[in-house]
Amino acid sequence: MTSVEHPEPIVRTIFKALLSKLLHWYGENRQATNDLLVLSVLSTLTYLFIRSNDLMEQFYEYTRQHEELQLDELALTMGVISSLYISVFAVRRWAEAARRLKQANTDNLTELFNRHKGWEILEHELARAKRYQRPLSLIMLDIDFFKEINDRHGHLAGDYILKAVADIARETVRSFDNLIRWGGEEFIVLLPDTELEAALQVAERLREEISSAPIQVPGSALNITASFGIATKDENTTDSEILVARADQAMYIAKHRGRNRVAISR
């Protein structure tokens, strides 16, 4: 009897994807995060040492014998202030490091991952998909007639269009999918653990959402469309550049077929 391989439960799939992104994020924030971890460990060890040796009871007993000095209030106050200062310093350092990292990896206009970070994510997800024999799909979308929009309505209108498309994509894809502004009016949606058929559904849903309602820009409302190309990892996908090139080629096929449609790389 031929055994049937059951699909991996969706909860496990989501957990793996989230864990992968968490580990990836920790790798980029390692120094600042380690500072907080060290501070937490030292604080815990100090507290346990004080409790286990009854040092506070001995300290209170000593200060009660020298009540006029009020050493307990002074020491406790200084201890609290010092602890708060160290904690605030560590948190601010971590937040500043995270802010600088976000600026380096994020497109300022759309707040999606930028192209530089996109390549890194692609390499990471492709390596994970190969290691665990999981599917991986990539959607490339390009806003139709974007140059004409800029020429006719101005670059500010173009910026509104780009931000609107980014917002639509955020609301359409899953939380663990990756959205990348690839450059100009091109975007990439990277779909971990996603077969071709499911990726096609995502692309069609995005296409319909983008074309369904006018987008408000200064002075008017514009109807726009986008063209999509889909590529899925197969045995010939040796690196991320091949996957991107296949999706890009499929997207141009969609353009040549009349725009506002989805094409698949075969």
By annotation, the residues acting in catalysis are 185
Q: Name which of 241, 18, 248, 8 is nearest 135 in CA terms.
A: 8
C-alpha dihedral (122, 124, 127, 128), degrees to nearest 10 = -110
Which is it for strands 262-264 and 226-232: parallel, antiparallel or unpaired? parallel
Question: How many CA within 13 A on the CB side of residue 199?
Answer: 29
C-alpha distances (whole Å) from 185 to each of 109, 120, 140, 147, 160 are 12, 20, 11, 9, 12
Residue with tokens 């790389």, as numbered in its chain: 265
